[in-house]
């Protein structure tokens, strides 16, 4: 059983970036292997807190963790040697350690890479759909600007026929060690910027990057019943890795546009329908258009009160990946007539004179009950 990441750092689920950083810094100072030489327990704790911090400081990873827990990082995302979600394996922690302490030590931050291969960045794509589209589901074609592996040099960054050379400064490791106070800090090699290799003859197309930017067309399946705020992950559809590293993931952040007539609550829909005072009193019928493209008749009985709710079974939203369908609730509002003519006013006065307590039991008894309750004159 893996420990909860928030618990590991000793912060609440709502901790902001500053709190996370502060908590990590405190724990890292205590458990850093350089301060606890030979202590395997401290090293394990240090890796755990590093992993927790690395995950939670990244808004995308944090969102994935909040939604799916540790399972978010167990399938797919770990592919390739470049890291991916989960990250802090052996050696992986020096990166975030630098991230936190880099400013304190007066150094900058460099992304860690091994052997020059680096995992591509995750990409975010915001998509907005209508409630009707969420109802029926759709296949959306999207165009994603992304970098892909350069076809001329096959991602090596070196001109075809030449090869990248092993960096002389770091002997290919991409990292150099330097003493900083009581810490011994591993830093990104300044010569090769962590690649471990230098390219003397860069590829003409990608200028040594090993990747080029292109727009790709992707088809995304939006299932029926999808909810506002859903994230869809397309594994490996993110940015290409650097110099042959694995690609990142593409996240589709889905939002459902507010609807003119319907409010949604999970699989149920709500629609507020204003009817006239006379319809409410005498009874009547009206039709509502529903998302399945048909209409449903609602019968209002005589003496319907404001706030009365009618349920149309199976006229709500489909439930994701099931055959269930929610309901549609019609909520009645009663509109009081305005701009009366002389004749209408006369008729209503006459109606009022003919009214008895039985016509309005609620309002007729209300004030006397209130008086009694508060014992006032
Ligand atoms: Zn190239
Ligand atoms: Zn180097």
The region of weakest confidence among 33-42, 105-114, 222-231, 360-369 is 105-114
Start-end of H helices in 93-211: 93-101, 131-136
3-state secondary structure of 214: strand
Q: How many Å lie between the centroid of ligand 1 and the Cα of residue 210?
A: 5
- Residue 189 marked in a binding site: yes
Q: How many Å lie between the centroid of ligand 1 and the Cα of residue 149?
A: 8
Q: Which residues contact 271 (CB under 8 A, 6 or more apart)?
A: 261, 262, 263, 288, 328, 329, 330, 331
Surrounding residues of ion ligand 1, Cβ less than 5 A: 150, 152-153, 203, 205-206
Q: What is the pTM of this model?
A: 0.55
Question: Region 165-177: what's the mean pLDDT?
Answer: 87
Nearest alpha-carbon partner for 53 in 2, 83, 10, 106: 10
For residues 85 and 251, the answer to whether their CB atoms sit within 8 Å is no
Q: How many Å lie between the centroid of ligand 2 and the Cα of residue 55?
A: 28
Q: Which ligand is nearest to the CA of 116?
A: 2
Residue with tokens 């000793």: 10
Residue 195 burial (CB < 10 Å; 0-12/13-18/19+)? Answer: buried
Say whether pLDDT at 80 is over 50. no
Q: Which ligand is nearest to the CA of 115?
A: 2
Integer Cα distance of 329 and 311 in angstroms: 5
Helix axes 93-101, 40-56, angle to 10 degrees: 70
3-state secondary structure of 15: coil
Integer Cα distance of 105 and 101 in angstroms: 6
Question: Region 28-39: what's the mean pLDDT?
Answer: 80
pLDDT at 74: 54
The share of the chain scoring above pLDDT 90, in percent, equals: 32
Q: How many Å lie between the centroid of ligand 1 and the Cα of residue 199?
A: 11
Q: Which ligand is nearest to the CA of 189?
A: 2
The region of weakest confidence among 38-47, 62-71, 119-128, 350-359 is 62-71
Q: How many Å lie between the centroid of ligand 1 and the Cα of residue 236?
A: 20
Question: Region 47-63: what's the mean pLDDT?
Answer: 83
The H-or-E segment that residue 347 falls in is helix 342-354
Q: Which residues contact 42 (CB under 8 A, 6 or more apart)?
A: 31, 33, 35, 36
Q: Which residues contact 68 (CB under 8 A, 6 or more apart)?
A: none
pLDDT, mean over the chain: 82
Question: Region 7-29: what's the mean pLDDT?
Answer: 86
Q: How confident is the model at residue 198 (pLDDT cuts 50, 70, 90)?
A: confident
Q: How many Å lie between the centroid of ligand 2 and the Cα of residue 188?
A: 8
Integer Cα distance of 182 and 294 in angstroms: 74
Does the domain made of 123-155+209-256 have the CATH classification 2.60.260.20? yes
Q: How many Å lie between the centroid of ligand 1 and the Cα of residue 331?
A: 63
Residue 292 burial (CB < 10 Å; 0-12/13-18/19+)? Answer: middle
pLDDT at 22: 87
- Residue 271 marked in a binding site: no
Angle in degrees, CA 123, 125, 127, rounded to 5: 165
Q: Which ligand is nearest to the CA of 240?
A: 1
Q: How confident is the model at residue 325 (pLDDT cuts 50, 70, 90)?
A: very high
Integer Cα distance of 245 and 77 in angstroms: 13
Q: Which ligand is nearest to the CA of 202?
A: 1
Question: What is the fold, at CATH topology level, of the domain defined by 1-73?
Answer: Helix Hairpins (1.10.287)
Angle in degrees, CA 340, 345, 346, rounded to 5: 150
According to CATH, where is 2.60.260.20 located in the chain?
Answer: 123-155+209-256, 262-335
The H-or-E segment that residue 254 falls in is strand 250-256
Q: Within the chain, what is the greatest distance between any pair of CA atoms?
A: 104
Nearest alpha-carbon partner for 146 in 99, 207, 212: 212
Neighbour count for residue 95 (Cβ, 10 Å): 22
- Residue 170 marked in a binding site: yes
Does the domain made of 262-335 have the CATH classification 3.50.40.10? no
Say whether pLDDT at 138 is over 70. yes
Integer Cα distance of 269 and 290 in angstroms: 10
Q: How confident is the model at residue 345 (pLDDT cuts 50, 70, 90)?
A: very high
According to CATH, where is 1.10.287.110 located in the chain?
Answer: 1-73
Nearest alpha-carbon partner for 140 in 240, 228, 232: 232
Residue with tokens 């309750």: 373
Question: Region 26-37: what's the mean pLDDT?
Answer: 80
Q: How many Å lie between the centroid of ligand 1 and the Cα of residue 248?
A: 19
Q: Which two tokens stand for residue 281?
A: 């009193």
Q: Which two tokens stand for residue 124?
A: 């975010």
């Amino acid at each position: 059983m893996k420990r909860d990441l928030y618990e590991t750092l000793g912060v609440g689920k709502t901790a902001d970036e500053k709190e996370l950083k502060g908590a990590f810094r405190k724990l890292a100072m205590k458990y850093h292997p350089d301060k606890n030489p030979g202590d395997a327990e401290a090293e394990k704790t240090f890796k755990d807190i590093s992993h927790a911090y690395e995950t939670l400081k990244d808004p995308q990873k944090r969102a994935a963790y909040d939604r799916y827990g540790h399972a978010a990082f167990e399938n797919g995302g770990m592919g390739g040697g470049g890291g991916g979600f989960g990250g802090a394996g052996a050696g992986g922690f020096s990166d975030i350690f630098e991230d936190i302490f880099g400013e304190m030590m007066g150094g900058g931050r460099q992304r860690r890479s091994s052997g020059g291969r680096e995992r591509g960045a995750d990409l975010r794509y915001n998509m907005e759909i209508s409630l009707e589209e969420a109802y029926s589901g759709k296949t959306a074609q999207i165009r994603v600007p992304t970098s892909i592996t350069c076809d001329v040099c096959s991602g090596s960054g070196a001109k075809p026929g030449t090869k990248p050379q092993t960096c002389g400064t770091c002997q290919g490791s991409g990292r150099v060690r330097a003493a900083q106070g009581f810490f011994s800090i591993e830093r990104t090699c300044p010569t090769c910027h962590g690649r471990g290799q230098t390219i003397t003859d860069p590829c003409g197309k990608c200028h040594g990057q090993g990747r080029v930017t292109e727009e790709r067309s992707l088809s995304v399946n939006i299932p029926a019943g999808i909810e506002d705020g859903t994230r869809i992950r397309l594994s490996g559809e993110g940015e290409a890795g650097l110099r042959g590293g694995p690609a990142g993931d593409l996240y589709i952040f889905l939002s459902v546009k507010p609807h003119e007539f319907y409010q949604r609550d999970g699989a149920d829909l709500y629609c507020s329908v204003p009817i006239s005072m006379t319809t409410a009193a005498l009874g009547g019928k009206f039709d509502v258009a529903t998302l399945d493209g048909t209409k449903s008749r609602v019968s209002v009985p005589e003496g319907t009160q404001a706030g009365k709710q009618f349920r149309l079974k199976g006229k709500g939203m489909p439930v994701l990946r099931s055959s269930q369908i929610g309901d549609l609730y019609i909520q009645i509002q009663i509109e009081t007539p305005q701009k009366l003519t002389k004749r209408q006013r006369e008729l209503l006065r006459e109606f009022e004179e003919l009214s008895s307590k039985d016509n309005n039991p609620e309002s007729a008894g209300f004030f006397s009950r209130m008086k009694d309750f508060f014992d006032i004159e």
